[in-house]
Homo-oligomer: A and B are copies of this chain.
């Protein structure tokens, strides 16, 4: 298998997808938004929104095995992207490749996962395609509208803007650790697409992205697209959710690694101009949304953060590329993250 980084992977995808016929009303270029946005009615703020996403890799890697989780995630991965642009889902279509003779237990729990997610987000299933295949894989396509509002994209962030998140981080990494690194730990994983939050955030956020691939990968996308850097102000440990803290407190894993991806927590990261700070804090308080302040956007194209009491600086795509540099080998990835941590420990400590 060819070695390639996240950036190279993105180039392969662009090399294939970049030549396809495009819709003249499409607002976003490739990768500029979490979902595809179409100016539908030739009116400034009346959009159709589309997204297709799947959970094949998570199943292949042994991360998702529980049929309830597979059903829940099949819906959540796509709704999360519809949320990241601030849209209101019409419904989803499901592509199911499932074994020809699944057990009743499997089918019932899979269906329950899908149904509970659809009910939670109030998103109906419009249709689908079911094939029988020994290699389980599921994808879904979501359709949404956005009326009277501008969609949030990944662009339009400027130095000085403030970065927030809809919740604390690390649930996805903690779960991956418990499944793939240390199976003596048991961690539940049930992320929620931040749909309701997004309908409020869209009123004043300049850009938004979900952390489906982890926090550093999300920041890397924002930094690359906008040619900016990010300074995370709070020590990473303070940004970890309870499930991550359970692993953090009982393992050698440093705090920043819980944000490295590629298995994320489906929070939204969004930027606001400093002038909207008060409005955001009021909203967070009024709606009981536990928004987290991350830090600020800087001109220098670096990601700066504090972990284990030390200031660290990384290139913007450095951390998000690591998983691909080891061809997705989880054990090697885990080792590589520690090697990078030791480099910071030994010589690169910086005051930020």
Q: A130 an interface residue at 8 Å Cβ cutoff?
A: yes
Neighbouring B residues of A53 by C-beta, 8 Å = 129
Q: How far is the CB of A196 from chain B (nearest CB, A)?
A: 17
Q: How far is the CB of A345 from chain B (nearest CB, A)?
A: 33
Neighbouring B residues of A107 by C-beta, 8 Å = 15-16
Q: A2 an interface residue at 8 Å Cβ cutoff?
A: yes
Q: How far is the CB of A316 from chain B (nearest CB, A)?
A: 22
B54 touches A129 (CB 8 A): yes
B52 touches A125 (CB 8 A): no
A128 touches B17 (CB 8 A): yes
- Given A54-B129, A141-B52, are A124 and B93 also a contact pair (CB < 8 Å)? no
A101 touches B2 (CB 8 A): yes
**Which listed segment binds B: A110-118, A216-224, A284-292?**
A110-118
Interface residues on A, range: 35 or more
Q: Which chain A residues numbered 52 to 91 have a C-beta less than 8 Å away from chain B?
A: 52-54, 56-57, 60, 90-91
**Which of A23, A111, A115, A129 gathers most chain B CB within 10 Å?**
A129
B38 touches A90 (CB 8 A): yes
Neighbouring B residues of A96 by C-beta, 8 Å = 16
B36 touches A93 (CB 8 A): yes
- Given A52-B95, A96-B16, are A23 and B133 also a contact pair (CB < 8 Å)? no
Neighbouring B residues of A93 by C-beta, 8 Å = 36, 50-52, 141
Neighbouring B residues of A137 by C-beta, 8 Å = 97, 137
Lowest 8 CB-CB distances: which A-B pairs, in order?
Answer: A36-B127, A20-B125, A23-B124, A141-B141, A2-B101, A21-B118, A52-B93, A13-B130
Interface CB pairs A-B, < 8 A, 13 = A20-B125, A21-B119, A23-B124, A36-B93, A51-B93, A51-B127, A52-B129, A53-B129, A56-B97, A56-B131, A95-B141, A97-B137, A143-B143
